[in-house]
C-alpha cells in the first residue's frame, strides 16, 4: 500500500457481505471487491460477482473468469477460527487486489480483519462508513 494512508470501506457493502457469509455458513463465502484507488485512499464500494464453489475448508473460483484490473481486493469468511489469513489466502493476496478482508464466525463487523497484499494487518487504517450516501448527498 505504498503511499496509501487510508482505506474506506462502504458499510452497506460490508453488512451485505457479512449477511451472505452467515447465509453460506458453515461453508466459506467469497467475493471480489471493486472501487477506486487514488494517491492516498483506497475506496471499496462495490461487489464484483464471481461464481465460486465453497466448503467448510475453502472456496474455489476461476481467476480467468474475472477482469482482474477491476478488482481492488477480496472478502471471504472463515467459518471456524479467527480472521487470520491461511497460506492459501496469502498466495491469493499477492496475486489479486490491494485490500483483503476476512470475516470470522459469528459474522459481525468486529470479527472482520483487513490485510494488504503482503498479508500485513491494516485494520487500523480501514474506515467503514456509508460512502454511497455521502456521494448522493454531494450531488
Tell me, what's the pLDDT at 112?
97
Q: Contacts by 86-89 with C-beta closer than 8 Å and gap 24+?
A: 88/58, 89/119
Beta carbons of 120 and 84 less than 8 angstroms apart: no
In a domain, 125, yes or no: no
Residue with cell 469468511: 77
In a domain, 126, yes or no: no
User: CA 46 to CA 71: how far, in whole Å?
Assistant: 10
Tell me, what's the pLDDT at 56?
63
In a domain, 131, yes or no: no
Q: What are the tens digits of pLDDT across the range 24-46?
A: 999 999 899 999 999 899 999 99
In a domain, 128, yes or no: no
Residue 116: beta bridge partners?
99
- Residues found in the chain: 139
In a domain, 136, yes or no: no
In a domain, 91, yes or no: yes
How many domains would you assign to the chain?
A: 1
Q: What are the tens digits of pLDDT across the range 72-108?
A: 999 999 999 899 999 999 999 998 899 999 999 999 9
- Label the pairing between strands 73-78 and 99-104: parallel
Tell me, what's the pLDDT at 52?
61
In a domain, 135, yes or no: no
Structure-model confidence comparison of residues 50 and 121, the more confident one: 121
pLDDT band at 70 (very low <50, low <70, confident <90, very high): confident
Containing structural domain, residue 101: 6-119
Q: Is the pLDDT of residue 133 over 90?
A: no
In a domain, 29, yes or no: yes
The model's pTM is 0.83
CATH number assigned to the domain comprising residue 46: 3.40.140.10
Beta carbons of 59 and 52 less than 8 angstroms apart: yes
Beta carbons of 27 and 55 less than 8 angstroms apart: yes
Tell me the three cell numbers of residue 73: 481486493
Amino acid at each position: 500500500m505504498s503511499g496509501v494512508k487510508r482505506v474506506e470501506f462502504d458499510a452497506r457493502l460490508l453488512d451485505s457481505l457479512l449477511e451472505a457469509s452467515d447465509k453460506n455458513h458453515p461453508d466459506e463465502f467469497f467475493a471480489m471487491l471493486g472501487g477506486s484507488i487514488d494517491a492516498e485512499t483506497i475506496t471499496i464500494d462495490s461487489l464484483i460477482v464471481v461464481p465460486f464453489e465453497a466448503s467448510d475448508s475453502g472456496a474455489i473460483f476461476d481467476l480467468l473468469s474475472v477482469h482482474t484490473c477491476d478488482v481492488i481486493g477480496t472478502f471471504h469468511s472463515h467459518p471456524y477460527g479467527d480472521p487470520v489469513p491461511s497460506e492459501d489466502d496469502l498466495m491469493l493476496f499477492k496475486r489479486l487486489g490491494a485490500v483483503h478482508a476476512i470475516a470470522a464466525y459469528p459474522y459481525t463487523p468486529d470479527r472482520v480483519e483487513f490485510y494488504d497484499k503482503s498479508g500485513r494487518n491494516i485494520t487500523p487504517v480501514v474506515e467503514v462508513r456509508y460512502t454511497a450516501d455521502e456521494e448522493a448527498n454531494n450531488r
